[in-house]
Amino acid sequence: MKPSAFDYVRPLSLDEAMEQLAIDPFESKVLSGGQSLIPMMNFRLARPERLIDINRVPGLEGIVPGQDRVTIGARTRHLAVQNTGLQGPLGSLLRTAAAQVGHLPIRTRGTFGGSIAHCDAASEWCLVARLLDAEMTVRSTRGERTIPAADFFQAIFTTAMEPDEILTSISLPALDDHHVTGIAEFARRAGDFAIVAATAAVKIEDGVVTRARVCLGGVSEVPWRSQAAESALLGSAWSAGAVAEAAAAAADEVDPPSDSHGDADYRRDLVRALLPRALNTAGAGS
Amino acid sequence: MNTAEPRSWTGRAMPRLEDPAILRGWGRYVADVAAGDDCLHVRFVRSSHAAGRIRSISAPAHVTLVTAADLAGLHPIRAVLDRPDYVTVATPILADDVVRFVGEPVAAVLAPSEAEAEDALDEVVVDIEPLPAVLSAEAASRRDAPLVHDTEFPGDPNTVVDGRIHTPGFDEAVASADRIVTVQVGSSRQSAMPLEARASHAAYDRATGRVTLHATLQMPHMTRTGIADCLGIPEDDLRVISPDVGGGFGAKMTLAREDIVVVHLSRTLRRNIAWIETREENFLGAWHSREQVYDIEGAFSAAGELLALRGDLVCDVGAYSCYPVTFGVEPLMAMAELPGCYRVREYSVRSRGILTNKCPIAPYRGVSRPVQVLAMERLMDVAAAELGLDPVQIRRTNLVGEFPHRTPSGLVLDDASHLETLQLAADMADLAEFRERQRAAREAGRYLGIGFSSFAERTGYGTPAFAARSVPMTLGREEIATVTPGAERVICTMDPSGGVTLRIGASPHGQGLRTTLSQVVSDALGIEPSSVRVIDSDTDTTPYGWGSFASRAMVIAGGATLIAARELAERLRVLAAHRLGGLPDDIDLVEGHARRRDTGEEIALRVLARDTYHNAQLIPDKGQPALEAVGVYDPAGTFANACHVAEVEVDPDTGEVRIERFLVAEDAGRLVNPAVVDGQIHGGIAQGIANALYEELIYDERGVLVTTSLMDYLPPTVAEIPPIRIAHLETISPASITGAKGVGEGGTIGAPAAIANAVSDALAPLGIGVFHLPATPHRLRTMIRQASRTKEAAS
Ligand SMILES: Cc1cc2nc3c(=O)[nH]c(=O)nc-3n(C[C@H](O)[C@H](O)[C@H](O)COP(=O)(O)OP(=O)(O)OC[C@H]3O[C@@H](n4cnc5c(N)ncnc54)[C@H](O)[C@@H]3O)c2cc1C
C-alpha cells in the first residue's frame, strides 16, 4: 500500500499553482485535503506523477455570504463548514451535512472543494451542490469559467473540469426562511460514506410547497435530482403524507446499483425511509 | 515493623505495566525493526485465479523474481492429525505448478523499498490456465466435484475431516421426545483482522550464519520449529523474536508461508529481508474463519427438557491446512463442544471439514464456538417459543448444574455456575420491566428485542485435551510429525539485588500477561509487581512453550508461574530459617522481607539473594549458589462460563440494529486482575458484535474476494459498540491451580448468539428469526420486506 513515485510541488500563489498544473496537466493532480487522493494513490488507483499541493495558496478558504448567494472557498475544511455561523436554512443544512462527513480527523483535513472535485455520488457536498444548483468557479492559465452543478458532475470521479483547471470556489443560493432543508443518510458505521443519502430543500408558503428540490446519493453514478419527488411535492399541502408520497415516487424513479452493501431494492427502500427523515416529518401532521 | 495484614496483589485491578510505553508510542513492532534497516523488501505476487495451472511467471531482467523453482530443497508445510478420517495435504512454500485460491503466493519480488517492491510487482506477468474451482463446501463434496488437491479422499470428495459421534441411547431418546425442533444456523467467512497485519524481518549474521527473525507472532517457538522443518535446518540456526504485536486473535498462531520465504532469502542472499504485509494481502491470504453451516435437531420433552441432540456440521476450510493446529480445528471443536453448557444425554453428530478454492481457515478468537453457541441458543429460543416457555426457563431446565459433568463427547465440565450466571443476567436485565417497554414500543411501531446467550468457554487446555482430538493410527506413525500442544514452562529467577525475572514460553500480545503474572509472582514472594520482569517471545531467552492462544496463558503459564514462584519462595524460607532460626514453615515472605511469624525478626530478600550468589559458603544444605525455579504445568483444562444479554432496537425501514444494552454475567474463576479480565470481555464482545452484524468476507462467483479493504469489510468502531455492563462470579475450580479460568474468547463466543436472539425477539411479530450471521441491514430489511408482503397478501 505504497504510492508509486511522484514529484511534489507546493506553490505559494494561485497563479503559480495554475502554471505548475499547466506544465503537465494529464500527469498532475491537485492536492487539497488529501483524504481521498492519498488513499487512492496508496491503493494505486491513482498514479499521478506530480502533486500540486494548494495548501499554501492564499484566498481559497472561507464562507462568504453575499446578496443572494453564499460563496465557499474550495479549500474550506469540512470542519469549518460544520462550525459555520451562517444563518438560516442554508446554514443549518451545511452544518448537518458536514457533521456526517467521515470522522473528525477527516473533517479537520478534508475540504469542501476537494469533495466536489473528487465527485463521489454519495458525498454530502456533491449532493448539496446538485440540490441547490451550485456554481463552480474554476481557473487555469487559460482563464476562468463557471460551471453549473447540472453540468459539473458527469460520472463517478468525473467532472466537467479540464485537467489544468483548479476549482477555486463554489457558490450556493442563500435560502430564505420559507425553506425547510435537511439531509438524512444511512451508513453501516458512523463516518462511512452513505449507502444512500437524501437531501431536500423545500419552500413552503401558506402551507403549500412552492418550490421543491430533492437530491439523492448512492442511487446513480452522480447525485440524482429526483424530478419525481420534486413534482410530487410541488403544489402539495405540506404534510408528512405528501413527503412520504414524494419518497415513494423517488424510490420508483431511481435505478440504483447493487453491491455488497445492498441491492437495488434495498437502496429503493432506503430512499423511501430517508427522504422523510431528511425533512424531519416524523412530528408533522399527516 | 509493619503488622498490617499484607494485601494480596491477586484480585487488584492494577493498571497494566505494558500500557505506558505502548500508549506513548514507544512500542516496538516489526515494522519499526525494519524501518531504517538496510534490508531488501519483499512483496508477494498472488494468484488472481481460484484454481489453475501456472503456465509461466516472468518479469523484466531488472526485477528480482523468486519462484517455487528457487525454493528447491525446501519441504512443504504438512499439518498432520493422527485420525483415520483426516486427509493430510501439503502446502508448498510458493505455489508450485498449480494455484488453489485467489491470493495464494506464487512468487516474490525484492527491492530496496516497499514502494519499489510494489512497482516491481506490477511488472511480473503470471500466466495461469484456469481450472474449474469449487467455491462452496456443498459443491466441493458432491460426487465428481473437481478436487482441490490431487489426493485420495476416503469419504466424499474434498472432505478432509469427517468426525462422528453417536451415543447408544440416541434413537430411543428421540423416539420418546414430545417435540423435535430443527434449526439451521450459519456464519459467513470472517477475518480476525488485527490492527497490525503480518510482518517479518530476517537479519542475517555473517559471523555465525544465523538468522534472527522478528515476526508478529503468537507462537514464536512453534514458528521456529515449523520454519526449521521446512528449511531442513537445525532450530539453532534461527532465533525467533516476536516484539510488540498489534493484535493476534488467532491469526498469528499459524505458520506463514511468507515467513519461510523471508528466512530462506535471508540465508541464501546473506541479506536482511523484510516483509510488511499490506491490508489487502492480509484480506487475501492471512487466514479466514467460520464459514460454517450447522443443521441441528433437538428432541425435547413437553416440559422443555432436551433429551437428545443431533447435528450435521459443515465447515468450509479453504484450500490448505493450517500449521500447527490443522484444518481439523473448526470441525473437531464443533463436534466435541456443541452441547456446550447444556445437559445433552444423547448425541449424534457428524462434523466435516471440506476443502474449497478459497483462503485457508485458521483459528480466530472463539474458533467454532460462536457458531456452536449460536446454534444452541437459537435452538433454545425456538424450542421455548414452540413449547410456550420463557427463554430463561428453558435454559434453567437444561443447564448443567452438577459438577463434574461428563459430556456425550467425553469432555469433563469442572465446577462452574451456569444456573447462577443465568439468574444474575436475568436479574440485571429485569426481564419483566423490559417486556413492558417492549409491549409499549410495539404499539408505537417500534421493534425492541432481548436475547440471552449462555455458554461454556473451554480454556487452558494442555496436552491431554489436544491429544484427544487424535484417534491414533498405527501405520506410518514415525514419518508424520503430528503436533500436540501443550504444556507451559517458566523459569523464575531472583537476581542478587532481589529482583525477579520470569522467563515464559507463552507469548503475550496485548493481553497484559506481564502484569498479571507479576501479580502472581508478587503474592508468592511477598514483593511488588514492579520488581518482577517478565521475559517472553524470544526463542533465545525463554523456555520452549506453546505461546498464547485458546484462552490458555493465565491458566497454563499462570499455573506454571505459581509453581515456580512457590518453589522459589520455599527456597527463600529455607535460607531465611537458616539465618533467623526456626523452621521454614514459620517464615512469611512479606514486603520484600522474610519474617519469622513468632518473633517478628526479619531479613531482606535482597540480602538473602546477594549472599546466595556472592557468599555461597552461607548456603545451608549444599544448595546451589543461585535462586532459580522451574515451573511446568500441563492441565486438562477448565471451563469458564457466562451469560450474555443483548437488548436491541431494529429499525424496520432500514434494517439497522442498534444495541441498546449489553449485559454480562461472567464466571472466569479467580480474577487475578479484574481490569484485565474486563478488557478481554469488552474486546471479545466487540468482535462478537462484528461477527453478528458487520463483518463478512465475500467471494464472487469466480472465487475472487471482493472485500479486500476496510471500506468493504467493516469492523465496528467505538461508535457501534454500546456500553457493556459486567458482573462477576468467581467459582474456584480445582482444575486450575491459580483458580483462574481463561477468559480470552468468551466475549466473542457469546455475543453473536445474544444479538441473534435479541433481533429475532424484536422481529417476532413479523415472524422473522435470525439464523445466519452477520445480520446485515440489507439482509434484515429484505426479510422484513418479504414478511410484510406475505402479511399483506394474507390479509
Ligand atoms: C475514512 C474516510 C471516510 C470518509 N467519509 C466521507 C463521507 O462520509 N462523506 C464524504 O463526502 N467524504 C468522505 N470522505 C472523503 C473526504 O471527505 C475527502 O476529504 C474528500 O472526498 C476529498 O477532499 P480533499 O480535500 O481531501 O481532496 P483530495 O483528496 O486532496 O483530492 C481529491 C480529488 O480532488 C482533486 N482536487 C482537490 N481539490 C481540488 C481543486 N481545488 N481543484 C481541482 N481539483 C481538486 C484532487 O486532485 C483529487 O483528484 C472520507 C474519507 C475517508 C478517508
Query: Quick one: three-class SS letters along B122-165?
Result: HHCEEEEEECCCCCCHHHHCCCCCCCCCCCCCCCCCCEEEEEEE
Q: Is residue A58 one of the residues assigned to a domain?
A: no
pLDDT, mean of residues B550-571: 96
Q: Which of residues 141-160 of A touch B (CB under 8 A)?
A: none
Residues of B in contact with A104 (CB under 8 A): none
Query: How high is the pLDDT of residue B472?
Result: 61
Residue A108's CATH number: 3.30.465.10
pLDDT band at B473 (very low <50, low <70, confident <90, very high): low
pTM of the shown model:
0.96
Instruction: Give the model confidence (pLDDT) of B356-392 as tens digits.
Output: 999 999 999 999 999 999 999 999 999 999 999 999 9
Residues 6 or more apart in contact with residue A84 via CB below 8 angstroms: A63, A91, A94, A95
What single-letter DSSP state applies at residue B94? S
Q: Is residue A196 one of the residues assigned to a domain?
A: yes
Instruction: Give the model confidence (pLDDT) of B144-160 as tens digits.
Output: 999 999 999 999 999 99
Mutate-to-test residue for ligand 1 from A31, A115, A128, A170, highest number of ligand atoms within 8 A of CB: A115
Contact B449, B650 (CB under 8 A): yes
Residues of A in contact with B280 (CB under 8 A): 1, 43
Residues A185 and A154 in one domain: no
Q: Is B188 on the interface with A (CB under 8 A)?
A: no
B714–A260 CB contact, under 8 Å: no
Contact A74, A33 (CB under 8 A): no
CA of A34 to the centre of ligand 1 (A): 6
Which residue of B lies nearest to A268 if distances are taken between CA atoms?
B654
Query: How high is the pLDDT of residue B792?
Result: 81
Residues A184 and A159 in one domain: no
Residues A183 and A165 in one domain: no
Nearest CA to ligand 1 atom 19: A110
Query: How high is the pLDDT of residue B95?
Result: 98
Q: What is d(CA A214, CA A212) in angstroms, rounded to the nearest whole number? A: 7
Q: Which of residues 757-776 of B touch A (CB under 8 A)?
A: 776
pLDDT at B4 over 70: no
pLDDT at B721 over 80: yes
Residues A45 and A75 in one domain: no
pLDDT at B583 over 80: yes
**Residue pLDDT tens, chain A, 286 long:** 799 999 999 999 999 999 999 999 999 999 999 999 999 999 999 999 999 999 999 999 999 999 899 999 999 999 999 999 999 999 999 999 999 999 999 999 999 999 999 999 899 999 999 999 999 999 999 999 999 999 999 999 999 999 999 999 999 999 999 999 999 999 999 999 999 999 999 999 999 999 999 999 999 999 999 999 999 999 999 999 999 999 999 999 999 999 888 999 999 999 999 999 999 875 444 4
Query: Which residue segments constitute the domains of chain B, with CATH numbers given?
Result: 19-26+466-633 (3.30.365.10)
Residues A188 and A165 in one domain: no
Q: In B163-175, which positions are buried (b, 16+ CB within 10 angstroms) versus exposed (e)?
A: bebebeebeebbe
* Structural domains in chain A (count): 3
Query: How high is the pLDDT of residue B96?
Result: 94
Residue A37's CATH number: 3.30.43.10
Query: How high is the pLDDT of residue B464?
Result: 87
Closest ligand 1 atom number to CA of residue A54: 41
Q: By percentage, how much of chain B surpasses pLDDT 70?
A: 98
Residues A215 and A147 in one domain: no
State if residue A113 touches ligand 1 by the CB under 6 angstroms criterion.
yes
Query: How high is the pLDDT of residue B16?
Result: 96
Residue finishing a domain among A173, A208, A232? A173
Which residue of A lies nearest to B709 if distances are taken between CA atoms?
A43
Q: Is residue A109 one of the residues assigned to a domain?
A: yes
Residue A213's CATH number: 3.30.390.50
Look at chain B and count its residues.
795
pLDDT at B5 over 90: no
Residues A26 and A85 in one domain: no
Q: What is d(CA B181, CA B607) in angstroms, rounded to the nearest whole number? A: 70
Q: Is A47 on the interface with B (CB under 8 A)?
A: no
Instruction: Assess whether the previous peptide bond of B324 is cis (omega < 30° from 0).
Output: yes
Residues A84 and A186 in one domain: no
Greater pLDDT, B714 or B477: B714
CA of A110 to the centre of ligand 1 (A): 6
Residue finishing a domain among A116, A143, A173? A173
Sign of CA dihedral B254, B259, B260, B261: positive
pLDDT band at B585 (very low <50, low <70, confident <90, very high): very high
Instruction: Give the model confidence (pLDDT) of A23-69 as tens digits.
Output: 999 999 999 999 999 999 999 999 999 999 999 999 999 999 998 99
Tell me the residue type at A33. Answer: G
State if residue A37 touches ligand 1 by the CB under 6 angstroms criterion.
yes
Residues A97 and A34 in one domain: no
Nearest CA to ligand 1 atom 40: A167
pLDDT, mean of residues B736-744: 96
Residues A117 and A148 in one domain: yes
Closest ligand 1 atom number to CA of residue A35: 26
State if residue A30 touches ligand 1 by the CB under 6 angstroms criterion.
yes
Residue A270 to chain B, least CA–CA distance (Å): 6
Q: Minimum mean pLDDT among A230-234, B421-425, B472-476: which range?
A: B472-476
Q: For residue A129, give its domain range.
A: 63-173
Residue finishing a domain among A119, A148, A173? A173
Residues of B in contact with A3 (CB under 8 A): 115
ipTM: 0.95
Count other C-beta atoms under 10 Å from residue B157's C-beta.
18
Nearest CA to ligand 1 atom 41: A167
Query: How high is the pLDDT of residue B480?
Result: 57
Query: How high is the pLDDT of residue B439?
Result: 98
Which residue of B lies nearest to A185 if distances are taken between CA atoms?
B654
pLDDT, mean of residues B674-692: 98
State if residue A201 touches ligand 1 by the CB under 6 angstroms criterion.
no
Helix (H, G, I), strand (E, B) or coil at A191: coil
Average pLDDT over all residues of chain B = 95
B782–A265 CB contact, under 8 Å: yes
Query: How high is the pLDDT of residue A282?
Result: 56
Instruction: Give the model confidence (pLDDT) of B340-362 as tens digits.
Output: 999 999 999 999 999 999 999 99
Q: Is residue A257 one of the residues assigned to a domain?
A: yes
State if residue A118 touches ligand 1 by the CB under 6 angstroms criterion.
yes
A191–B719 CB contact, under 8 Å: yes
Q: Is residue A233 one of the residues assigned to a domain?
A: yes
Residues 6 or more apart in contact with residue B298 via CB below 8 angstroms: B180, B181, B182, B306, B308, B309, B310, B379, B383
Closest ligand 1 atom number to CA of residue A60: 41
CA of A91 to the centre of ligand 1 (A): 21
C-alpha cell at B139: 459443491
Q: Is residue A1 one of the residues assigned to a domain?
A: no
pLDDT, mean of residues B740-755: 97
pLDDT band at B2 (very low <50, low <70, confident <90, very high): very low
Q: What is d(CA A248, CA B514) in angstroms, rounded to the nearest whole number? A: 60
Greater pLDDT, B87 or A284: B87
A4–B656 CB contact, under 8 Å: no
Numbers of helices and strands, H then E, in chain A: 11, 14
Q: Is residue A160 one of the residues assigned to a domain?
A: yes
Residues A19 and A83 in one domain: no
Closest ligand 1 atom number to CA of residue A32: 30
Q: Is A190 on the interface with B (CB under 8 A)?
A: yes
Residue B115 to chain A, least CA–CA distance (Å): 5
Element (H, E) at B300: strand B292-300
Specify which residues A71 forms β-bridges with. Answer: A64, A171
Mutate-to-test residue for ligand 1 from A30, A57, A107, A147, highest number of ligand atoms within 8 A of CB: A30
Element (H, E) at A101: none
Specify which residues A29 forms β-bridges with. Answer: A51
Residues A70 and A123 in one domain: yes
Nearest Cα to Cα of residue B383 among B542, B670, B183: B183
Helix axes B674-689, B746-762, angle to 10 degrees: 50
CA of B348 to the centre of ligand 1 (A): 57
Residues 6 or more apart in contact with residue A115 via CB below 8 angstroms: A36, A78, A101, A123, A124, A125, A126
Q: Is residue A16 one of the residues assigned to a domain?
A: yes
Which residue of A lies nearest to B705 if distances are taken between CA atoms?
A260
B280–A265 CB contact, under 8 Å: no
A1–B119 CB contact, under 8 Å: no
Q: Is A176 on the interface with B (CB under 8 A)?
A: no
Instruction: Give the model confidence (pLDDT) of B88-125 as tens digits.
Output: 999 999 999 999 999 999 999 999 999 999 999 999 99
